[in-house]
Chain A
Amino acid sequence: MRLVKISAPAGALRDVQTLPGLHINHESVVIEGDGSWSATAYASTAAVDFLEASGCKVETLKSEEQINEELRALKQGMDVNADQGPPKDV
């Protein structure tokens, strides 16, 4: 999945709620006065294709590899912790 910013016409938000491979970050949703909206989302390539075909503007904020790298870094911290054994007494 990549991280994208979606800008879409009014009405499209509800239509894409259950689109496979799309996870909208709902706290990021901004609805304009004319009903158009924008939001960040995790999206698969297929979901991006669908969105664009539906008239949504899709801008990539982070590539799949960038997200993979962030999660790799997160898991490295977890692995380091696992290697440390029981925490020292405080």
Chain B
Amino acid sequence: MSALETLLLVLAIFGVLTGLSVIVLSLIWLERKFLGRMQMRMGPMHVGPFGLLQPVADAVKLMAKEDLLSSLVDRVVYWVAPLAVFVPTFMIWVTIPVARDLVIRNLDMGLFYIIAFSVLSIVGLVTAGWASSNKYAVLGGFRAAAQLVSYEIPLILAVLGVAMLAQSMNLEEVVNSQSTVVYALVQPLGLVIFFIAGLAELGRTPFDIHPAESEVVGGPFVEYSGAHWAVFFLAEYINTFAIAALTVLLFLGGWLFPGISGDVSALGVLVFLVKTYLVILVVFWIRGTYPRLRIDQLMSLGWKVLVPLALVNVVITASYMFYGWSAWSLSLMSLAILGAAIWGLSKRMRTAPTPEYTVKLYVPAPEASNAG
């Protein structure tokens, strides 16, 4: 490796690091401000102009805060779990391009690489819950695993649809193949599945079943405070940005925009960032609008609606590609199926009876209550 190459590599890695930290800080501010305005509040105001320095102040506070460790915590796993969540979310940035040729490494199996590593952070959440030795945390960990695992399947299948259209898993090629029409128009069904499953992977409203404050008081993170919690927080925001970035790259044409030459990197980055922030605003908008799903609704939506839709998406895309049907036919089929699914769902939501619930109250065994 030549000296120049090494220098470029170091620069690229530093670029990713600073880029991601600035993005995380901006996202924290944006979320608070945006949610505030949606709820007719002002949001952060006092630290810096427009409260812009609020996330920095938060970060300092988190670092300098007393670390409250419960005496029952399993120390080693408690320390490792935030790292186990963070590492995969950071690693997928190796292969996410922000403009043409502006990527640390363009892997030929980029899409598969991202999918494979994103699954790893689920393990971190389960172990975080377990290490906390707290009922809410353990329950939150279980919920996290069950939910993330269920939505991973539609996510993988939706990505598969894009890989089929582009005939490649290289993210740069995926974007380049959208130079005439973006895949959001070719495959609207895929976009919807990917976005819903992505939201669920992030554990954001309406899919925030595992950190649900009113049910499991923060889920796996109950016992985490200070810097440990900051690491989870960081991972969550990097993940939010990653899902939005992937939505843009896979379905909205990445750094391509009609009339803007993609050859100029700076313009490309700008287009990419604008698109990604718009997608993120939609994510925040959804958070400010919808209530949380019940866990049984969540699982039904994943397995009974999204999985079959994703499979149908794969099959129609395959047929369209294989038989070389005309360009608009896939869009039409996609839209028709999407419409039918929405119609069926809304009809069911209006007529379906509330499922019978058998709530089992926790009755401690006599010896257990004495021991505790």
Are A and B associated in one complex? no
- Name B residues whose Cβ lies closer than 8 Å to a Cβ of A: none
